[in-house]
Amino acid sequence: MSVVKHISDDIIVMYLGQMIEKCNAKSIFKDTIHPYSQALLSAIPIPNVHEKRERIVLKGELASPIDPKPCCRFAQRCPYAQEKCFQEEPVLREILPEHVVACHYAEQFVK
Ligand code: SF4
C-alpha cells in the first residue's frame, strides 16, 4: 500500500467481492472512511520503530462469499454494526468529493 499511493491515481477497496470504498490514492490514507478500510490500513507496517500506530484487530466471522445475505457483508466483523447493517445492504454513496463509500453510517467516520 505504501508504494501503491505513489503509482496509482485511484484506489478501490474491496470486501468479499464488493467495492466498499473508492477515492484518489492520497485520500485513502488521509480520509479513510469505511471501517474495513481503516482496519486494513492500520495493518500496514511502519518503517519507523519510533512511530506508533494503533492496530485495529477485527473479530467475528467472515460472511459467506458463496451465498451472501442482503446486508452489509462486513457486519459480522464491524465494531460499529447496528441493526440496519444486518437488514439492508449499503450502497455506494459520495461522502466526500470523489470519495464513495458503501456504509450506512459513513458520515460518522469522516475525520
Ligand atoms: S454498514 Fe454497518 S456494518 Fe457495514 S461497515 Fe457500515 S457500520 Fe459497519
Instruction: Read off the pLDDT of residues 49-85 as tens digits, 9 standing for 90 and up.
Output: 788 878 999 999 888 888 888 999 999 999 999 999 9
**What value does the mean pLDDT take over residues 12-30?**
93
Domain count, the chain: 1
Q: How far is the CA of 91 from the centre of ligand 1 (A)?
A: 11
Residues 93, 20: contact at Cβ < 8 Å?
no
- Nearest ligand 1 atom to alpha carbon 73: 4
Asked, for residue 79, whether it belongs to a domain, the answer is no
| DSSP label of 97 | T
Burial class from Cβ neighbours inside 10 Å (0-12, 13-18, 19+) for residue 72 reads buried
Q: What is the pTM of this model?
A: 0.91
pLDDT of residue 16: 94
pLDDT of 2 higher than 80: no
Asked, for residue 95, whether it belongs to a domain, the answer is yes
Cβ–ligand 1 contact at 20 (below 6 Å): no
pLDDT of residue 102: 98
pLDDT of residue 80: 97
Domain ranges, residue 29: 4-59+90-109
Asked, for residue 38, whether it belongs to a domain, the answer is yes
Q: How confident is the model at residue 26 (pLDDT cuts 50, 70, 90)?
A: confident
Indicate the top mutation candidate among 36, 56, 74 to test ligand 1's pocket, ranked by most ligand atoms within 8 A of CB: 74
